[in-house]
Amino acid sequence: MTDTSIKPRRVRFSWEETPLHWVPGDPFTTHLINVLHMLLPAGERWFVHVFKQALPYIQDPRLKAEVKGFMGQEGTHAVAHQRVLEHMREQGLDPGPYVENIEWIFERMLGDDTMPPIARTYWLKERVALIAAIEHYTAVLGQWILDARPLDDAGADAVMMDLLRWHGAEEVEHRSVAFDLFMHLDGSYARRTRTMMVTGPMIVLLLKRGAGFLMANDPILRGRLRAKWTHYFYRAHQGRVPTLRSLALAVPRYLRPGFHPSQEGDLRQALDYIAISPAHAEFLSLTSETYRRSQ
């Protein structure tokens, strides 16, 4: 069997102590980042669904093993973020209506039946290219959260920061897999450009609308504070959310001939974080405890 370092890791997060505004006194930053919990479960389940269809076309055993490891990691991420949505619901913020829109996008608009059966291969290549473009952004955001000291300085909840950093670190770790799969199956520069041109603005639009939804439905704010661009620019200036400039500059990097995702992010830093992630350590200690008791 081909060995690959990309494998899902078990984690355990305890949400009991995490407040609704987990960046204290900063509901805007809290909710802008919370949009990820609404996007990722449906999005990452869709990655796994599409990649499962791509598996039979992969000729390289090493890439195939990496794609399987990637699928395991994304499936684990989806479950972890889903739990945060349950916690938000318990705190009186129902993400349901927005999540239903997101599920419609991934399951219907980008689903298997959007194109006629004759276009099956075309549609598979198109969706793999879309995932590669999205994964460029998840790697950029993953590195950003690993570096985001201003959130720690603001007193952001430690469990939430661990979830985001564990996920971000695995995004940096598997940043090349979707791109390598796209290049293996197709690699068309026109498709790479087209899908990235859709992905960048889509991510910004979904984040903006999601933050607006959460701010409007927040049971503490009760409609007194709305999401505004001025909030965004202020928090980006403070380093609590990524700047628009950093998101925009990611596009030409992806489109540069000779680009490879391995040039992005700091793998050593990502793996170092995973080694000390409390969620991963908690799971390991829990399993060894169960094992000891069973002896």
Q: What is the binding site for Fe ion (CB under 5 A)?
A: 74, 77, 138, 171
- For residue 219, the minimal CB distance to Fe ion (Å) is 29
Count of positions (residues) in the chain:
295
- For residue 107, the minimal CB distance to Fe ion (Å) is 18
Which CB atom, from 127 or from 231, has the smaller least distance to Fe ion? 127
- For residue 247, the minimal CB distance to Fe ion (Å) is 17
Cβ-based neighbours of 57, under 8 Å, separated by 6 or more: 124, 185
State the residue number with the nearest CB to Fe ion: 77
- For residue 170, the minimal CB distance to Fe ion (Å) is 6
Which CB atom, from 4 or from 138, has the smaller least distance to Fe ion? 138
CA-based Rg of the chain, rounded to a whole angstrom?
19
Which CB atom, from 58 or from 71, has the smaller least distance to Fe ion? 71
Burial state string for 189-211 with b = 16 or more CB within 10 A and e = fewer than 16: eebbeebbeebbeebeebbeebb
- For residue 203, the minimal CB distance to Fe ion (Å) is 13
What gap in Å lies between CA 229 and CA 282, rounded to an integer?
38
Which CB atom, from 77 or from 191, has the smaller least distance to Fe ion? 77
Q: Are 215 and 226 in contact (CB under 8 A)?
A: yes
Which CB atom, from 171 or from 186, has the smaller least distance to Fe ion? 171
Q: Are 171 and 139 in contact (CB under 8 A)?
A: yes
